[in-house]
A and B are shown apart, each in its own frame.
Chain A
Amino acid sequence: MTVADTKFFAQGNVYLPHIAVIEKIVEETPGVRTYHFNFKDEKLRKEFTFQSGQFAQYSVLGTGEATFCISSSPTRRDHLEFAVQRVGKVTNALNRLGVGAEIGFRGPYGNSFPIDFLKGKNLVFIGGGIGLAPLRSLIWNVIDNRDKYKKIDIFYGARTPTDLCFKYDLEAWDKDKTVNMVTTVDRGDDSWKGKVGLVPKILEEVAPSAKETVAIVCGPPIMIRFTFPALEKLGFKPEQTLTTLEKRMKCGIGKCGRCNIGNLYVCRDGPVFSYAQIKDFVSSEY
């Protein structure tokens, strides 16, 4: 588990952003967009590396910075992606930008999904809403190295069919015979043919085996809180359950004090944690 590599510092200063250019904007849902981008600097564009699960601080200069995971896979590197739910100052400012606009980027920060630990195991991905963004990086990473993993289940839920993010991915995984894709919504509509119900409930219904399996959970805190007990019921031990946490962040590197959960800083020690690591504090701090 590493913190960011100093080799990607702009001008040798961890707080200075690199300039990146938006290349494409994908409308995911009415409140969520995916931005495809590349660094302005030719050399950095070639050399930049990251791992699934890492995040970065993105700026709209003059408005401020916000934290988003890198939602694309390191196995697909002609550009980078991040997905944004519009909720406040920076996310709305991003929404006003078009293709060709310049943004600030510093990162990659945080640890990443423990690929070596996952290899050779069954994987159960559990995502809710925009929480699919970091999972998506790992899912494509795993699918691009399919022979290294065993069974793959993906559970994904959103409030309504319109709120489903990355529909093009959901379709692709649904078609992929080597992957079991379960999509659910809290409330269906006339044309919805998939499952209806909250993710933890559907998870218990389908009941994937915990044997030699790792569950990877990412979604809104409320979903995470109910999914942990559901997994425990299915026999998943705290060490077998991974999650990525979200806290308000500023520095992204363990200095500004903001993102702690107990003695851990989500930016410095996470954002990927096993349930075993955060059990003591998660009940009342998340």
Chain B
Amino acid sequence: MNYMPKIDRRSFLVSSAAAGLAVGMRLPFGDEAAAQTALPPEVNAWVVVKPDDTVIIRIARVDMGQGTLTGLAQLVAEELECDWSKVTWEYPSPGRNVARNRIWQNYQTAGSQGIRQSQQYVREGGAAARMMLIQAAANDWKVPAGECVAANSVITHKPSGRTTTFGKVADAAGKLDVPKNPPLKDAKDWKIAGKPLKRLDTPDKINGKQVYAIDTKLPGMLNAAIKLSPVIGGKVKSFDAAKVESMKGVKKVVQVGDYGAAVVADTWWHAKTALEALPIVWDDGGNGNVSSETIAARLKEGLDADEAYVGNKQGDAKGALASAAKKVEAVYAYPYQNHAPMEPMNTTALWTADGCQVWAPTQNAEAALAVAAAAAELPVGKCDVNRMHLGGGFGRRASSHDFVEQAVLIAKQLPGTPVKLIWSREEDMTHGRYHPITQCKLTGGFDAQGNLTALHMRLSGQSIVASLLPQLLKDGMDPFVFQGLNPSGAEGVFGYEIPNLLIDHAMRNTHITPGFWRGVNNNQNAIYLECFMDELAQAAGQDPLEFRRKLMANHPKHLGVLNAVAEKVGWGKPAEGGRFRGLAQHMGYGSYVAAAAEVSVDPKGQLKIHRIVAATNCGNAVNPQQIEAQIQGSFVYGLSALLYQECTVKNGKIEQENFDSYNVMRIDEMPLVETIIMPSGDFWGGVGEPTIFVAAPAVLNAIYAATGKRIRSFPLSKHDLKSA
């Protein structure tokens, strides 16, 4: 994926010269850093082996629940040939990465890229460490390294049968040069990678021991609660600190940037209680009149606007549509949605004139470091981010590190005192980085023989990139709005051959801050396209599967997953028990996915999603049981959105403040998910997001089969599915 938040490399390079200072920097609570340097010397950047043979694998990407940590450790351990039962892990801080010329490379964990974009160099890290350990043993024994092998953390000299363990030679190995471009194993020889191993991080998650960022405790720490401008982008005009300063536990009332106010107190509950009593006057920044209606009208205008950025074009779609024997047209709309990870935004910061440390839940600790340093007004080399465990991320903690900036701005006003900032759920719901809002007009044309000859797909709406990463715009165009609709590339190839095709985007931005929301633009694009393919099939009087198949001959991988779900769900044979079926396929984040849903709708309009068969071809499958968990989990995320989730705007503010008005699917609505993992072995695709794309369209197509109703705006809770 290409939309990684760009950290200014130059500032990193400049500051890394000074980063030597950071190592010796004294902070009052630097014990953790001291503990880390007390570790035994590393074999190489990726692998530390303790004398007792414990293997510490360094993980640059982050685990927010998706299992990346375990998957990456499996890949390193596979090449290292170590004993898996002795494997543990460590997150190197971004400050250490800076100090070592980014030896761990990219920290960004979004776009389902954690494994697919780092697998090569982490496996090489494991392989190089194995070669170094073997070499160290061979040197000790004064035998050629070629006569030695490693397995299960034991090195054996084959001719003599002599053995030693990794822990005994790790010190010496760490002094050797790191070999370049070590050969890697073929996936068919994998013993640790590719296997459904248990996660490394489960034990502490069942007994309350796992420390999340929100659980950070430091000596002398205070707690902060924050209120941000209710109209996003608005400013604080004034607040009356005197009104709350004498309330219990309150230590300080501070302004945060020009956009918020915070109360710092002994406990968070005291801070929040006082904050609620704090009178604040806001300047709405000119957006106080914006509503969902005004936004919808603006997007609607874009559907027919003359100017639009072209993302995919074949032949002459407009001409072919003008002369089509039959035309089908539909307009769809997709709302704003909040990520709402279970752990609200939070960060702990400690600022002194000499340095700044933060403890943050981040999907990209390097970006967090850049944000922290800027807010601290200190060189990057004097700051660092302690990478805390995340209670979910889903893109929120990659899209923006606003919560890190705020924590630092608050801590800066209490030099030497660590302050933990926690957003209330209400702040979290109303100051998200929302799934962007879009509409789509689709027009399909058939010739007299009933062949689909043209498709025009006009997207209108918000660009995430224009808001977050404008440097990635190409002559004003946002390439990422076309995820899954591209003519080529890993970010999602359009899976149908249509002689006259036009997919274009009328960019219509708003003041509501958009972000990368699990699945990102694939979510609406898959709904638009896959539901409309069903509409076209119906117009052509054809079975939705057969109709698609005819257009997919040149896309065997797209077709492969679609065929797999169709076969497993029993497509072609009627479903039992009043159930109806729907299909969808899509490609994104390097992977090919398809789903077949079975639903029923009772006469009162009550929907039940009984079963979804899901297939993924992710190229290589590093941990099948975790892939299965990601598929199930992504369906919950995607179906929660489909069933319930919409953030509406009134007077410039987001209206939904908590889970009572922003509902989430519970266990009673969970369909049985049957997973087909079918890696073809010739590429590396993502697994954290891709299957989410097909959950909603498969269910929507099944709802149509059950009710004859085409739902084209969301969530479903706005619609009555009662039979007419």
Whether both chains belong to one complex is answered with no
Residues of A within 8 A of B (CB): none
